[in-house]
Amino acid sequence: MSGPAGSGREEASGPRDFIKYTLLHLRPEWRRLPASERAEGREALVRILEAPAPDLLLRTYSLVGTTARAEMLLWLIAPRLEPIQEFHARVAGTAVGGYLDIAYSYLGMARRSEYLRGHAHDGQEGGSSRPRPHDLPYLVIYPLVKKREWYGLPFEERRRIMGEHFRIGHRFPKVQIHTGYSFGIDDAEFILAFETDSVAEFLDLVAALRSSEASRYTLTETPIFTASHVEPRRLIELAEGIA
């Protein structure tokens, strides 16, 4: 997999949203509590997940059965950091929150790719500084770090290389990409998310990108998480083991 990369040439005008992915592990001790206690705690958490702050966009995804060390994925989008922080504090303050561990955490900001030459295909690479979910059934996320050699290439050379990358992506219209830029605000350089209604098509996209010139400049692109879009109540039920 190879993702977009910036060089600082893009103007930072206009609003840009923060993007946050939080992966939660529900400790097994919660499942051993009495059913009535768990039901009460579940309802309290559902109320928070179903009614986030007005300036916070939230989507919930289940990781049950697809990865180790985490069962729940929260995708948050907000114009400021404070709503994201306050939301996490509300979750932590619930009864269930006392049994939740943050297994992974990724923070980025959206911005338009500098390589697009004034146009972008809907839902494809790097198009918007105000990302919005398409609410497709599946979400795949991973952090990305480029080799430093990439940033030493002339800008026009990087634009040419990324042109091939975009053309490959356009062959897979069922895959919608959301790019978070993390330079200086988190450990990775990018946090990439792909929505799709076909995991097989996403796999084929990744396979096609393996031979692209851009992929030679990828340093790291793991861990990778594949999740299913579910409503908040079902998110918690699956983590609890309610089939």
Per CATH, 18-107 and 112-227 having the same topology is answered yes
C-alpha 133 chain-centroid distance: 10
Distance, in Å, from the CA atom of 75 to the CA atom of 59, rounded to the nearest integer, reads 5
Where exactly are the structural domains of the chain? 18-107, 112-227
Q: What is the pLDDT of residues 89-131, one digit of tens each?
A: 999 999 999 999 999 999 999 998 888 765 455 444 555 678 8
Distance, in Å, from the CA atom of 77 to the CA atom of 70, rounded to the nearest integer, reads 21
Q: What is the pLDDT of residues 29-66, one digit of tens each?
A: 999 999 999 999 999 999 999 999 999 999 999 999 99
Which residue, among 197, 212, 218, 36, has the nearest Cα to 142 in the 3D structure? 218
Superfamily the domain 18-107 falls into? Apc35880; domain 1 (3.30.70.1030)
Mean pLDDT of the chain: 91
Residue 11 has pLDDT above 60, yes or no: no
Q: Which CATH architecture has domain 112-227?
A: 2-Layer Sandwich (3.30)
